[in-house]
């Protein structure tokens, strides 16, 4: 409620909480209604929440209770909004590292003009335009939303909802991609591979970033199945599909690192670092933009006997992850004058 204090109204749909949340929100001035959504699906719940919004509201910001806007968000949104705007993008930090640094960052678009959108998909729901005329999206520079999820909260209900989404729309490439990813999250490696290959085979699966992610996930699954040979094939395909992304280069660098191919590790870590523009889609990995590529490069260069270059790469890694004791120890070793490369393990 503090983060939403810049809004004219705060409307909350309570779908069954029992811990006093609804009462506390009302006490802070929120409009709260309770609805039972059975069978449960996220799009139905969000469409019910849209009914709570006063008709005089111009712009709707969809925010969950584990998300917080940073101060000044409304001014940034109003500065970006135009008379023909129907939707807005904004910067979103989905995860934070243990040291407080940002993890996964992307630009979603859950801000929209009132009265011309509805939600679709049982889970990982998205806005669907229902208005007249053309849809027009603006970017609200300076608007920042932070996600602080409860790590103990179960996501077990995601899988049956994703399977439902695929049954409802078997040719929807987005649903198949998400379902394959969910199987991977659950450790169902072969099932994930089969589903992600179905995604890649769909004629509508043309977005390079998402295709790259499916290929990467197939490679990661093959790694868990102890088939690094097949993983390498899929990582190569992922790189070819989206050479503008860091993530597939880093996946392949990790494979080569784990197999002691130091020249290859150094090369592909360097390829990852050569990508300096971060994608604004949800498919980015926070670790690809943290210390990890510099860390891989440092260790590989050390094994190749390039001590000074290894030291510089290690410093860059430590700058990005200053509390990492292993990287600190590596740097201390590399800084020692006259040390024996062959006798020291970084």
Q: How far apart are CA 314 and CA 296, in angstroms?
A: 9
Q: Indicate if 194 and 280 belong to the same structural domain.
A: no
Q: Indicate if 136 and 169 belong to the same structural domain.
A: no
Structure tokens at 197: 């290959």
Q: Indicate if 234 and 170 belong to the same structural domain.
A: yes
- Give the chain's domain count: 3
Containing structural domain, residue 125: 11-147
pLDDT per position as a tens digit, 37-55: 999 999 999 999 999 999 9
Report the share of the chain in percent with pLDDT over 90. 89
Q: Indicate if 132 and 179 belong to the same structural domain.
A: no
> Residue 129: pLDDT above 50?
yes
Q: Indicate if 70 and 167 belong to the same structural domain.
A: no
Element (DSSP H or E) covering residue 210: helix 208-224
pLDDT at 340: 44
Q: Indicate if 119 and 226 belong to the same structural domain.
A: no
One-character DSSP codes across 71-91: TTHHHHHHHH--TT--EEEEE
pLDDT band at residue 152 using 50, 70 and 90 as cut-offs: confident
- pTM: predicted TM-score of the whole model, two decimal places: 0.90
pLDDT per position as a tens digit, 189-241: 999 999 999 999 999 999 999 999 999 999 999 999 999 999 999 999 999 99
> Residue 337: pLDDT above 80?
no
pLDDT at 151: 83
pLDDT band at residue 76 using 50, 70 and 90 as cut-offs: very high
Decide which of 147, 175, 201 is a domain's last residue.
147
In a domain, 5, yes or no: no
Decide which of 103, 127, 147 is a domain's last residue.
147
Supply the CATH number for residue 177's domain. Answer: 1.25.40.10
In a domain, 1, yes or no: no
pLDDT at 296: 97
Q: Across the strands, what pairs with 93? A: 105, 146
In a domain, 303, yes or no: yes
pLDDT band at residue 101 using 50, 70 and 90 as cut-offs: confident
Decide which of 243, 273, 298 is a domain's last residue.
243
Contact 283, 213 (CB under 8 A): yes
Q: Indicate if 37 and 116 belong to the same structural domain.
A: yes
Residue holding tokens 């679709």? Answer: 120
> Residue 343: pLDDT above 80?
no
Q: Indicate if 57 and 136 belong to the same structural domain.
A: yes
């Amino acid at each position: 409620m503090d983060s939403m204090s810049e809004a004219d109204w705060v409307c909350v749909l309570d779908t069954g909480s029992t811990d006093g949340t609804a009462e506390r929100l009302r006490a802070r001035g929120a409009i709260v209604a309770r609805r039972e959504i059975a069978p449960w699906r996220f799009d139905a719940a969000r469409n019910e929440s849209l009914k709570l919004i006063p008709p005089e509201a111009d712009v709707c910001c969809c925010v969950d209770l584990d998300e917080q806007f940073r101060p000044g968000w409304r001014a940034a949104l109003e500065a970006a909004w135009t008379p023909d705007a129907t939707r807005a993008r904004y910067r979103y930090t989905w995860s934070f590292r243990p040291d407080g640094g940002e993890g996964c960052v992307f630009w979603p678009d859950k801000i929209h003009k009132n009265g011309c959108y509805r939600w679709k998909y049982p889970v990982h729901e998205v806005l669907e335009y229902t208005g007249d005329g053309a849809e027009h999206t603006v970017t609200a520079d300076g608007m920042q939303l932070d996600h602080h999820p409860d790590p103990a909260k179960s996501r077990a209900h995601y899988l049956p909802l994703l399977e439902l989404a695929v049954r409802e729309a078997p040719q929807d490439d987005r649903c198949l991609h998400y379902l394959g990813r969910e199987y991977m999250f659950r450790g169902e490696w072969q099932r994930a591979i089969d589903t992600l290959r179905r995604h890649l085979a769909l004629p509508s699966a043309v977005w390079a970033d998402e295709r790259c992610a499916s290929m990467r996930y197939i490679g990661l699954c093959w790694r868990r199945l102890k088939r690094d040979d097949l993983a390498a094939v899929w990582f190569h395909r992922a790189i070819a599909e989206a050479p503008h992304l860091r993530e597939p280069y880093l996946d392949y660098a990790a494979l080569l690192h784990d197999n002691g191919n130091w020249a290859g590790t150094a090369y592909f870590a360097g390829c990852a670092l050569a990508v300096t523009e971060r994608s604004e889609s949800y498919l980015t990995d926070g670790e690809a933009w943290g210390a990890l590529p510099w860390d891989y490069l440092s260790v590989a260069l050390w094994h190749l006997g390039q001590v000074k270059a290894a030291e510089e790469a290690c410093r860059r890694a430590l700058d990005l992850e200053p509390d990492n004791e292993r990287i600190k120890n590596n740097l201390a070793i590399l800084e020692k004058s006259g040390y024996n490369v062959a006798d020291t393990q970084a």
